Amino acid sequence: MKFYSFRYGPFVGLCNALLIILLSGASTLRADPKTIVAFGDSLTQGFGLPVDAGFVPQMGAWLVAQGASVRVVNAGVSGDTTAGGLARLDWTLAEPADLVIVNLGSNDMLRGLDPNLAYENLKQIMDKLEAKNMSTLLIGHLGPLNYGAGYKADYDGAFEKLAASYDTVFYPFFFKMLMASDGVTPNLQLYFPDDGMHPNAAGVQAVVDDMVAYDLSALQH
């Protein structure tokens, strides 16, 4: 199952319905504990946040509060690129996982690295996870306008091509709930007060609140 659109309307209703259905089966999740590996960079690791305020602890706390028996493993490394993630994937996943959240690529963009190389690295990561028969939730990112239209198109398209090529649940834009009213620029004052790149605890909570339906879908995938 793939979720592509991140607009409001019917899609939100679909996610809410899915959430209700999945949580109504919480007894199944309790009886069969799940391991989720959050594999990414500083956005996953929780850069600059208290221990309990990062992406992984907030996601784990939300799922447990809904009755799911899960263990969420923080496999985020600050500064990691898609190449770095690929290099450490095998030993990171030495033990099997029920779901791997793949959230890499933002540092490739910040360094101006070739989007095609990022695509190839992510493709190899997805190939390895598919070979291990692990369910995946792929997190997308959007490139900046100041790198030029060509770079942005290639960067944005890399995630879309991967989502279309693999049996994965796709969350199209990590920051989609943290944008200003124009939908283009991030809400810096509310969610990025420190460095303009890493969300604060409130921002992470907004991301988690929106992403959990995708997590639950991927766990049932």
β strands within the chain, DSSP E: 34-40, 70-76, 99-103, 135-139, 169-171
Which of 135, 154, 156, 198 does the annotation list as catalytic? 198
H or E element at residue 55: helix 55-65
Rounded CA-CA distance 217/26 in Å is 13
Q: Which amino acid is at 42?
A: S
Rounded CA-CA distance 72/65 in Å is 13
Q: Please answer whether residues 143 and 115 qualify as being in contact, where contact means their C-beta atoms are separated by less than 8 angstroms.
A: yes
Q: Please answer whether residues 172 and 159 qualify as being in contact, where contact means their C-beta atoms are separated by less than 8 angstroms.
A: yes
41 is catalytic: no
Rounded CA-CA distance 193/25 in Å is 39
Q: Please answer whether residues 86 and 46 qualify as being in contact, where contact means their C-beta atoms are separated by less than 8 angstroms.
A: no
141 is catalytic: no
221 is catalytic: no
φ and ψ at 33, to 5 degrees? -55, 140
Kindly report the number of other CB atoms within 10 A of residue 66's CB atom.
15
Query: With 0-12 CB in 10 A as exposed, 13-18 as middle and 19+ as buried, what is 196?
Result: exposed
Which of 42, 106, 135, 217 does the annotation list as catalytic? 42
For the annotated catalytic residues, the residue numbers are 42, 195, 198
